[in-house]
Structure 1
Amino acid sequence: MNFSVRFWIDFKKLPEYWSAQSEAIIALKSAYDENDIMIPYPIRTLDFGIRGGEKLNEVMNTSAN
């Protein structure tokens, strides 16, 4: 699920905009937390083809010979 959140604010200087944006993000996160909604983060698994207990630098050194 992807969504975009936009808001409009009348600001005179850029820091006013950043402050409003920060407050909006904090309010959204608080609302999610209050309703037990979790935002999943992408998970990546890296497989170097090594077995448990082997060190990557040792495997790389031996395979380069």
Structure 2
Amino acid sequence: MSRYVVLFKKDVLGGNGRQIEICQSSLEIDALNENQATELAKKKFCESERLCEWSLHADRVEVRAA
């Protein structure tokens, strides 16, 4: 298994009225590949945030090798 860092990112308006990207959460996941890491991270993110769908708090998911 490999270790991945999965980031949940959202675009919001900053104080100056410009769109900025923020990281809602980051998780370290052990998985066989990036796809599996993404799916496991989505489940953990939903559990930790008490959500039924991860996209309620994030716009996209980014996966990096740790």
Q: Tell whether the structures are fold-level matches, with TM greater than 0.5.
A: no
Structure number with greater Rg is: 1
More strand by share: 2
TM-score, normalized by length of structure 2? 0.30
Q: Flag the structure with higher helix content.
A: 1
| Larger RCO: 1 or 2 (CA < 8 Å, sep 6+) | 2
